[in-house]
Amino acid sequence: MSQTSKVKSELTTDLATHITLCPWRVRVETLEAFVVAHQARSGENKTWLDKLWPFIWSAGGIGFYLILLHAAEMLKVIKR
C-alpha cells in the first residue's frame, strides 16, 4: 500500500468518524428534511399555478379591454 493511499484511507476514516460524532448532525438532518419537504410542496404548488396562469392572463386581458372600452366615461367621472 502506498503512502498516499494510506493517508487517504486514514482521512476518509477520520472524516466518517467526525461526521457520525458531530453534535450538529441531528440539526443538519432536520434542516435537510425540512428543505426537501418544502421543495416537494413548492413543486406541487407550481403545477396548479401553471394551470391557473391562462385564466389569470385572460381575466387581465378582459379587464384591460373593459377599461379601454369605457375610458371616455371614466375620464368624465374623474374630471367632475
d(CA 31, CA 15): 21
pLDDT in tens, 50-77: 888 899 999 999 999 999 999 999 899 9
**Mind listing the pLDDT tens digit for each residue in 9-19?**
888 998 888 88
Q: Which of 77, 79, 80 is nearest to 67 (CA)?
A: 77
The x, y and z cell numbers of residue 41, run together, are 410542496
- Domain residue spans in the chain? 23-79
CA distance 5 to 21: 24
Q: Mean pLDDT check: name the lowest of 19-23, 46-50, 71-75.
A: 46-50
pTM > 0.75: no
